[in-house]
């Protein structure tokens, strides 16, 4: 059985796609792309959710979609066919974080929705022995000095992985997850990030665009216990609310203000989290972690927004 968070996230994607389809059928025809991702989301919704949960998810997505239709005049300005698809896994690697994509070919119009269940994460990008984060995130390759620093660490992890060793047992082999993995990897990452920043004046813009999304989108964040959905309007390039006057374009950052280690509430320096502060009211945290029991050969960043520009409007709908 898949992880519960994966199930609920995929199920919410299906519920959102279905709610958009049901709403639009009052205006025109709908074409749903029956790809692998759609079928999987449908399976998770129908097989793994109880009947009560299905009703709850349908109600949440329906209320969120009502707000979406208010924000998007292009949805109701004509009755041309609306195509709805769910993005395939791995779609967000290049910075397109949309899960549900809706379009009208006749109008050359397209928007997307990112569906989140009980969390507001931006992305979960990785560090590994073969991921050039500078090139992937901003188009600027990392230096050989970075590789010289991190490759020995990943080689150690690869060896532990081949021996099926758990993270919790690393101490038995004279290795520590925090002091021998997290801290040196994040130090190397931060040093390289500073190096790239010194060489490329637009790094802050490209970094945040990669994290937030290279294509404009709405983010639906379902809070199951609170019975509400927060709708974030990532209108970074002016492609949302076409024909309307509700949403302003959100200005991306142009420079970094601070790049460094997070200070915990007790005043101590974090050993797994960095904070990146930029102008135009952007700030994010990057927490390096592994959710697996066995040692992995790549580590994931949990990228969370700390502050967002005031132009990025958030609408809350209760259900």
DSSP per residue, 120-188? ------EEETT--HHHHHHS-PPPHHHHHHHHHHHHHHHHHHHTT-BGGGGGGGT--HIIIIIHHHHHH
Domain locations along the chain: 1-117, 119-319
| Main-chain phi, psi angles of 281, to 5 degrees | 70, 30
> Residue 276 and residue 270: Cα distance in Å, rounded?
14
User: How do the pLDDT tens digits run along the chain, 319 residues long?
Assistant: 778 889 999 999 999 999 999 999 999 999 999 999 999 999 999 999 999 999 999 999 999 999 999 999 999 999 999 999 999 876 555 678 999 999 999 999 999 999 999 887 888 899 999 999 999 999 999 999 999 999 999 999 999 999 999 999 999 999 999 999 999 999 999 999 999 999 999 999 999 999 999 999 999 999 999 999 999 999 999 999 999 999 999 999 999 999 999 999 999 999 999 999 999 999 999 999 998 999 999 999 999 999 999 999 999 999 9
The answer to whether residues 4 and 53 touch, using CB atoms and an 8 Å cutoff, is no
> Residue 201 and residue 288: Cα distance in Å, rounded?
26
pTM of the model: 0.91
- The per-residue pLDDT for range 39-73, each reduced to its tens digit, is 999 999 999 999 999 999 999 999 999 999 999 99
Q: Nearest CA to 60 among 219, 233, 230, 216?
A: 230
- The per-residue pLDDT for range 4-43, each reduced to its tens digit, is 889 999 999 999 999 999 999 999 999 999 999 999 999 9
The answer to whether residues 82 and 103 touch, using CB atoms and an 8 Å cutoff, is yes
């Amino acid at each position: 059985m898949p992880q519960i968070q994966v199930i609920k996230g995929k199920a919410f994607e299906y519920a959102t796609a279905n709610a958009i389809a049901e709403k639009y059928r009052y205006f025109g025809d709908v074409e749903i792309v029956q790809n692998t991702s759609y079928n999987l989301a449908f399976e998770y919704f129908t097989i793994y959710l109880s009947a009560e949960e299905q009703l709850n998810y349908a109600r949440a997505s329906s209320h969120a979609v009502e707000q979406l239709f208010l924000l998007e005049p292009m949805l109701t300005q004509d009755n041309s066919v609306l195509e709805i698809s769910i993005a395939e896994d791995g779609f967000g690697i290049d910075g397109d974080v949309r899960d549900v994509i809706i379009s009208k070919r006749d109008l050359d119009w397209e928007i997307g929705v990112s569906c989140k269940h009980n969390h507001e994460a931006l992305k979960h990008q990785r560090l590994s022995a073969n991921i050039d984060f500078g090139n992937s995130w901003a188009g600027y390759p990392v230096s050989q000095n970075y590789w010289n620093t991190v490759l020995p660490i990943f080689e150690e992890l690869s060896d532990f992985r081949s021996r099926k060793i758990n993270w919790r047992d690393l101490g038995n082999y004279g290795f520590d997850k925090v002091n021998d993995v997290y801290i040196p990897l994040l130090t190397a990452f931060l040093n390289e990030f500073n190096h790239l920043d010194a060489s490329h004046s637009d790094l802050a813009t490209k970094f945040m665009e990669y994290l937030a999304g290279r294509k404009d989108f709405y983010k639906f964040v379902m809070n199951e216990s609170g019975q509400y959905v927060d709708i974030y309007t990532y209108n970074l390039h002016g492609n949302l609310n076409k024909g309307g006057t509700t949403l302003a374009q959100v200005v991306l950052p142009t420079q970094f203000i601070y790049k460094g280690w997070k200070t915990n509430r007790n005043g101590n320096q974090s050993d797994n989290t960095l904070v990146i502060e930029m102008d135009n009211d952007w700030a994010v945290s990057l927490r390096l972690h592994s959710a697996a029991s066995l040692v992995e050969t790549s580590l994931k960043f949990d990228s969370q927004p700390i502050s967002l520009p005031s132009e990025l409007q958030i609408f809350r709908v209760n259900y």
